Every structure is written in C-alpha cells, then in structure tokens.
Structure 1
Amino acid sequence: MDNEEHQHAQSIVLGDVDVTRVIEWRGPFTPARGIVPGVEAEVWKENEAWLAPDHWDPDSDNAVVALQTWVLRSGGRTVLVDTGVGSGRERPGTPQFHQREGDFLARLARAGIRPEDVDVVVNTHIHGDHVGWNTTRADGAWVPAFPRAQYLIPAADDAYFGPAGGYGNGRRQDDRLIYEDSIAPIHRAGQAVLWDGAHRIDENLTLEPAPGHTPGSSVLRVASGSDRAVFVGDVLHSPVQILRPACNSCFCLDPAGAAASRRRILERAADERELVVPAHFGGTGAVEVGRDGSGFTLGAWAGSGGR
C-alpha cells in the first residue's frame, strides 16, 4: 500500500487559517457500490469523466479513497483533524488495516510538524481510520502520539464505543480493539476532552454534531474573514453522495440520521459557500457545492481555480 507520488502535503489558505493536507495512503479501496450501496452503477458511469481516476477506478469498479489528516494552523496553535489508521494495529475485521505499517509521523515531519508541536487533535468520530495515530507504542504500551495535545472526542461516540456501551454493542469485532489502543490511552494520560452539543476551539474553529454515521459523528467549521469551510469527516465518503445525498455509506449506524445530517450540511455549504472537506476524498480532497433544485451540484475543486 505505497503511494509515494502522493506523500507530499497540499496546502489551502482560509482567511487566517493555514490548512495542510497530509496523506497517509490513497488508492482503490473497495467496490464502489459496496461502499455506497444506494448509488446505481449508471451514476458512476455517467460521471466517469470526473470521477476517474481520483474517486473511481472504472477497470476494477473500486472506489478510490484517501486516508489523510488535515492540519490547521489557527490562532497560533496547530490542530490535527483525524489521525488515520495508525501502525501495527490489530484489526482482524478490516483486512486493509490489519497490522498495517505506516510512516505517517515521518510524513507529518516532512510537512514541518513534530508531535510536540501539536496542540489539539480532533477526532470527528471513533472509527479505526480516524483515530489510529492518536497513539504510538512506547515500552510495549500505547501512549499518546502527541504529548502536549488536547484530544477532542465526541462524548456520544466515547459512550457508545467505550466499555459503558459494550464497545459498540459488539456490532464490529474491531471496535473494542480500536477503543483500547487508540482512545483509552488518551483517557489514561488525562488528555481526552469529551464534548457534546458544540465546542468552540478558537475564534476560527467550531465543532458541531452531525450524528448518523456514528452517534457522535461531528463536523469542524472554519470561519475566518470571508472564507468558510466545513470538515465533514465521514458524512461523505464519495462525491457521488453529493449527487445522491440520500445514499449512505455501508458504515453508517443510523441511516436515516446520517442522510439527514448530510442534507443539512450540504444545504448550508451551498447557501454559505463553505468549502466541503471530507475525510476520504481523493484528488484535491475538497470541493464547493451548489444548489440544483432540491439537489446539489459539484462546483470548483480546491486548488483548481475555485479557491
């Protein structure tokens, strides 16, 4: 799973917030209609001109996804949005992530970010590809990878995926492992901050709930000067969901809630010209959206002349 051509960081400026994208891995991942079951084959084919190669591999019919972290420099602090898969994790239920070895911290270093430089880590939700680099191994134990950071974790997800919720009620065999190696060590170190309702990080950054994908699924809004953006985590897995917002990923725990959150977020993004920044889009990773009657259209991609 090596993508050396994509290891370099990409940057965006949003008002007074500098955004750097650091990619852990990118490539064909799983069958397109497996990851977003409700989107018909014709939709992928009709939009092949822009879906391929960044979001869809027509030859294999696999969705192309990225595992990535967005680094925000705001108000004199460094904020990471999601931390990817991690290295050396036991994930028997997810073969693509099981015992994977990665060099993400080295990639962060090449982007000028040392672990001790990070002030805040945002986990948009507790899934294994969003919390994996929360921790690293030291003397045989999992410890926070970012020793000075405050880790912002949605309280609803912590309750559901933690021991109080039976580690996701045993729905997926990996959920206990994810919590124990990537979340529990943050609690033991006293670096976890559980939030509910909304949480303001600074004058530019605010966390808001977007439940459905998971109980505590959240988005991070950026408002600085005239620029607006919304980092949506897994509210969107593929840009075809902008065209078919009622269609959920196969990973959404509450399909009706996920679809409602998606539509609400896309409506606001279209009305307020927020750049939409999902966790797993390939290509330039972020896109503007517009209204099309009761639906939505894709606008300019970040870095392609739109921003």
Structure 2
Amino acid sequence: MQVPFGPARAIVPGSPEELWRDNKEWLAPDFWEPDTDSYVAALQTWVLRSEGRTVLVDTGVGNGRQRPDSPQFDNLSTDFLGQLDRAGVRPEDVDVVVNTHLHVDHVGWNTVERDGEWVPAFPNARYLIPSADYAHFDPERSRPRREGDRLVFEDSIAPVRRAGQAVLWEDAHRIDAHLTLEPAPGHTPGSTVLRLASGGDRAVFVGDLLHSPVQILEPSCNSCFDEDTAGAAASRRRVLERAADERELVIPAHFGGAGAVEVRRDGATFAVTGWAAYA
C-alpha cells in the first residue's frame, strides 16, 4: 500500500519547507507530492530467505481491526496473504516474524480471526518482539496512552504470546549467522533494527527510524510519531553513521518508490548516493 498520508511537515514537524523544495526533483512523486504538500508513505512487509528459513520483517495493519485512533486503518480488507502466496510464501512456510516495534502498522498481520478469536497468522513461526515494547504497550503493566494501543495489543500481540509463539528479547538477538536484531530506541522504547550480513553484502532494516528521506539529509528531524525525540534522533544518527561507514544498504519501513537507499557522510550530515528497487 502506498498513499499520501498527510501534510509533509506534520509528519516530519522539524523539517523546513526549503529542505523539501530544494530536493523536489528526486523527492517527487515517490516520497512527496509538492502540489498538495503531502508526505507519501508505503506500508509493506519484507520477506527474507536465510539459512533455509523464511523471515518476515513487520506485518502491516491487518484486516478487520477496530482502529478508532487511525481511521485510515480501520476495518481494512486487503489481499495481504494472497500477495504473500503469489510471492511464494504460505502462512505455514514462515519460520520467523520480526516486529521492529509494536505500532499499529507493524504488527497487524501477526494474527488472523478464526471463529471469532484472534490466532497467530503464521502457525509455525517464532515472533520476535522487543521486550521493552511489550512492557510499554502491555495494558497490564502500563496504562495505554490511546484506546488504539490497547486494541492493537489485544488483537495482534497478546494472542501470539498466549499461543506460546512469542520470543521477548532484549539487548540483542541473533536469529542466525546472517541476521541480528539490535535496539535502536526512541521511536518507541523497544524500537529495533535488523542487521543483515551475508558474504560481502550488508543491509540494515531500520523500521521507523526513518519515515522520509529528508531525515537522511537532516537526521535531527524527528517524525511526529517518535515517542522520545532525543533518543530517536540519537539512534537515527548512530545507525546512519554505521551504514555510511560499513556501506550497509538502508531499508526503511515506509519509503515509497525505491525500497532501499545507499548513504554516505556529508560533513555533519548524510547524503543519498543511490537507490535500490523493490526485490
């Protein structure tokens, strides 16, 4: 799903208008609609094959959910599982599900409704959930800031834990020889990046550390969704520095158009050096 999502500087409030205008040539139309000043977002799941296993990175919004705080996500009906099937992935084939964090648009297809009950959508998978986010969003441990947070936890997280398929991790978690989860807090307390190292190839799936490419140019600019702005900015800069130094392909959750970006240092900030298409 790729749609205009709201005014650009409502989504990235600290970004100056000239930052968008000066980069209009490449921001439009995939990342920004200049005529309406709309930020363009993609909702997507990444599919990885590693050591004979199938790994999903984030699971989108889900169908048939009550989402009073997010009308654009309320009671959706999409062909997500059909798209996965056409990509060669059946629910029973999935071995690992990574939730980079527990916001509404990253956990929805963790579950499906059967006979009036939410159950894991991927019956053979381990669901890797950052422990800090689990504690932060669990209504039994903390009071949800919004009704939507409680609903997301109850229909997309708690059923996985009850089924015994949730793995709560902290500090770092190695999935296999090629894939490692590391904390990158700020967007949420448990926000995570997934690092890939295979032969000479390097990539980092950064979740919501980046909502727009303008945050590569100005990493101090947070999104309106970041819960700890100072922490998010620090994590963003740290991850971009390593990506530039180690030539990691940066793969954000919500970039429209090209699915991944190459970056380099540019003085105290960063520059885009190339784009990688969806694969």
Match of 1:204 in 2: 178
Match of 1:117 in 2: 93
CA distance in 2, matches of 1:96, 1:299: 33
Q: Secondary structure at the match of 2:236?
A: helix
Match of 2:227 in 1: 253
Task: Map 1:117-156; keep pairs closer than 5 Å.
Answer: 117-156=93-132
Q: Secondary structure at the match of 1:96?
A: helix
1:79 aligns with 2:92: no
1:220 aligns with 2:194: yes
CA apart distance, 1:172: 2.2
Match of 1:93 in 2: 69
Match of 1:11 in 2: none
1:173 aligns with 2:147: yes
CA apart distance, 1:165: 3.2
Structure 1 vs Structure 2 CA RMSD: 1.1
CA apart distance, 1:99: 1.1
* 1:268-302 Cα distance to aligned partner (Å, 9 max, x none): 00000000000000112100000101110011101
* 1:26-50 Cα distance to aligned partner (Å, 9 max, x none): 1211111111000011111111100
CA distance in 2, matches of 1:42, 1:110: 42
Match of 2:204 in 1: 230
Match of 2:25 in 1: 49
Q: Indicate if the aligned counterparts of 2:130 and 2:170 stay in contact, CA closer than 8 A.
A: yes
* 1:118-142 Cα distance to aligned partner (Å, 9 max, x none): 0000000000100000000000100
CA distance in 2, matches of 1:175, 1:140: 20
CA apart distance, 1:171: 1.7
Match of 1:243 in 2: 217
1:266 aligns with 2:235: no
Structure 1 unmatched ranges of 5 or more: 1-24
CA apart distance, 1:59: 1.5
The 4+ residue runs of structure 1 with deviation greater than 2 A are 163-166
CA apart distance, 1:97: 0.5
- Kindly, what percent of the aligned residue pairs are identical? 71
CA distance in 2, matches of 1:256, 1:48: 28
Match of 1:108 in 2: 84
CA apart distance, 1:303: 3.6
Alignment size in residue pairs:
279
Q: Which amino acid aligns with 1:176?
A: R
Q: Which amino acid aligns with 2:152?
A: I
Q: Secondary structure at the match of 1:288?
A: strand
1:297 aligns with 2:265: no
Residues 97, 303 of structure 1: CA spacing in aligned structure 2 closer, same or farther, 3 A cutoff? closer
1:287 aligns with 2:265: no
CA distance in 1, matches of 2:212, 2:4: 12
* 1:9-67 Cα distance to aligned partner (Å, 9 max, x none): xxxxxxxxxxxxxxxx1121111111100001111111110000100011111111100
CA apart distance, 1:211: 0.3
CA distance in 2, matches of 1:102, 1:181: 17
CA distance in 1, matches of 2:69, 2:173: 32
CA apart distance, 1:164: 3.6
CA distance in 2, matches of 1:62, 1:207: 32
CA distance in 2, matches of 1:96, 1:35: 15
Equivalent position to 1:161, from 137, 150, 154 = 137
CA apart distance, 1:182: 0.1
> If the length of structure 2 is used for normalisation, what is the TM-score?
0.98
Structure 2 unmatched ranges of 5 or more: none
Task: Map 1:53-64; keep pairs closer than 5 Å.
Answer: 53-64=29-40
